[in-house]
A and B are shown apart, each in its own frame.
Chain A
Amino acid sequence: MNAKEVQVYINGKTYGASEGEPLIGVARRNGIFIPSLCYEESLEPYGACRMCIVEIKNEGVKKRIVTSCTLHVFDGLSVETDSEEVLKHRKVLLELYLAQAPNSSKLKELALKYGVNRTRFRQKVRDNDPLNNSCVLCGLCVRVCSEVMGARVISFIGRGEKTRVNTPYFEQSELCLGCRACAEVCPTGAIEFRDDGGIRVAASWSNTKVELKKCNVCGKYYAPVKLDKRIDTLYYYRDKDGELRDMCPDCRRKAMTRKMTLIAENEVEKYAK
């Protein structure tokens, strides 16, 4: 990474950034709040939700509004994140989102921040919606599942107003890892998982069931069996005798500390002799 260092002006203040990175990243790094639904650092900028709009105010350039996640910074870039124009658009967007996902408490919270507490549009309510009428179809869960986890369990189904996200044929999926990455990135908190004893149930994804692994020491269920291999490889080289296998993170930490202490004590004794 040898990107050129550049200066950008956000709301009149100067910040350093490397050329070409998305503006929303620069802003967030410096504690400037820009709302977004479809931006996730681990994925390519998507520019779908339009919540992160900012106004470019460079001299000699016509004022315009762009999404800050797809705005690659250049030297001398000057933007305003909460100008009157931007706020106006953002409020309408929030109203539209409230109509699309009337049940999401996260979205309501965000809307209240901008003084939007009701929507003028017809609210879209489906009966027995597995996503609890909270999905805004930002596509983060679909992308994280295929691009980051590589499991590719869920996808968009249908088109237009009837689009939704779920497993193919609305059936339990055998591919699901149970990693909960989709629930983690979901900006509206629509995706539900619950752990029933040794089984993790993805209530939103057609009740897909994933087996959980039990900790050898304390008996707590700590991770899906399918992900176990990936966790183990992290410790494989440090743990040739397999002592740290099949342990929950808490027990593993304790065991490691014990191991370290033993090694240290042995070393001390060696030098004492």
Chain B
Amino acid sequence: MPPLFLILRGWLMDRQQIEEIIGKYKHPEGKILSILEDIQEVDRYLSKETLKVVSETLNIPLSKLFSIATFYSFFNLKPVGEHIITVCMGTACHVRGAAGLLNTLENLLKVSENGTTEDGKFFLTTEDKHFSLNTARCFGCCSMAPVVKVDEKIYGYVTVNDLPRILKEYGWKEDENR
């Protein structure tokens, strides 16, 4: 795992490292998901070049890999920010106002709502690559609804007024011009 600043500068695995990951598996053709997961763990997203290398090494068509990567919401096809904010849109959270949280977050982070990327996923990243915003269905803690997850930490009973405070913990600065 390379240092974080390298990743933030857009550092990606090269062919040799990808082949190393593939080499760990006995029958790599059947382990595409695990391979892509391993790559994403390091790169934080799957770049076009990475997918092409995997496709060439395993002799699996790029179309199939792209199909897999777009099917699972786990995979990111665009560079992600340093901190990933996930808003739960499950039934309980929805009833307690998750949509409002999402709207407020979009405004605070100044990410555009046209948002769903062309691969059909909802994933917004701020311009300075500091935050990424996406949604999930349920974290399994509906009793704390509405729930927002930042990186691996879960915040419950979140209100719209709490959001700036939570964001500040992760180095968000309020814009004076607002």
Q: Which of A154, A157, A168, A175 contacts B120 (CB 8 A)?
A: A157
A31 on the interface (CB 8 Å rule)? Answer: no
Q: Which of A146, A153, A158, A167 contacts B71 (CB 8 A)?
A: A158
The smallest beta-carbon distance between B149 and chain A, in angstroms, is: 22
Interface 1/0 per residue, A198-232 and B, CB below 8 Å: 00000000000000000000000000000000000
Residues of A within 8 Å of B71, CB to CB, are 156, 158-159
Contact B61 A157, beta carbon cutoff 8 Å:
no
Name the CB-closest residue of A to B55.
A168
Name the CB-closest residue of A to B118.
A170
Interface 1/0 per residue, B3-38 and A, CB below 8 Å: 000000000000000000000000000000000000
Contact A155 B119, beta carbon cutoff 8 Å:
no
Contact flag A167-B63 (CB < 8 Å), given A159-B70, A159-B71: yes
Residues of B within 8 Å of A152, CB to CB, are 61, 63-64
Residues of B within 8 Å of A155, CB to CB, are 61, 63-64, 66-67
Contact B120 A153, beta carbon cutoff 8 Å:
no
Name the CB-closest residue of A to B68.
A155
SS class, residues of chain B in contact with chain A? helix
The smallest beta-carbon distance between A41 and chain B, in angstroms, is: 24
A169 on the interface (CB 8 Å rule)? Answer: yes
Contact B70 A158, beta carbon cutoff 8 Å:
yes
Q: Which of A146, A163, A168, A170 contacts B62 (CB 8 A)?
A: A168
Contact B63 A158, beta carbon cutoff 8 Å:
no
The smallest beta-carbon distance between A162 and chain B, in angstroms, is: 4
Contact B66 A158, beta carbon cutoff 8 Å:
no
Q: Which of A153, A157, A167 contacts B119 (CB 8 A)?
A: A157
B65 on the interface (CB 8 Å rule)? Answer: yes
C-alpha spacing A195/B71, complex, angstroms: 33
C-alpha spacing A25/B69, complex, angstroms: 37
Residues of A within 8 Å of B118, CB to CB, are 170
B: interface residue count bin: 10 to 19
Q: Which of B51, B62, B64, B120 contacts A162 (CB 8 A)?
A: B120
C-alpha spacing A167/B70, complex, angstroms: 12
B48 on the interface (CB 8 Å rule)? Answer: yes
Contact A169 B66, beta carbon cutoff 8 Å:
yes
Name the CB-closest residue of A to B72.
A159
Contact B48 A169, beta carbon cutoff 8 Å:
yes
Contact flag A153-B63 (CB < 8 Å), given A158-B119, A159-B120: yes
Contact B64 A157, beta carbon cutoff 8 Å:
no
List which B45-83 residues lie within 8 A (CB) of chain A: 48, 51, 61-67, 70-71
List which B132-162 residues lie within 8 A (CB) of chain A: none
The smallest beta-carbon distance between B99 and chain A, in angstroms, is: 19
C-alpha spacing A170/B48, complex, angstroms: 12
14 contacts across the A-B interface (CB closer than 8 A): A152-B63, A154-B63, A155-B64, A156-B67, A157-B70, A157-B119, A157-B120, A159-B70, A159-B71, A168-B63, A168-B65, A168-B66, A169-B48, A175-B61
A residues with CB within 8 A of B: 146, 152-159, 162-163, 167-170, 175
Contacts A158-B119, A163-B120, A168-B62 known; 9 new A-B pairs at CB < 8 A: A152-B63, A152-B64, A153-B63, A155-B63, A157-B119, A158-B121, A159-B71, A159-B120, A168-B51
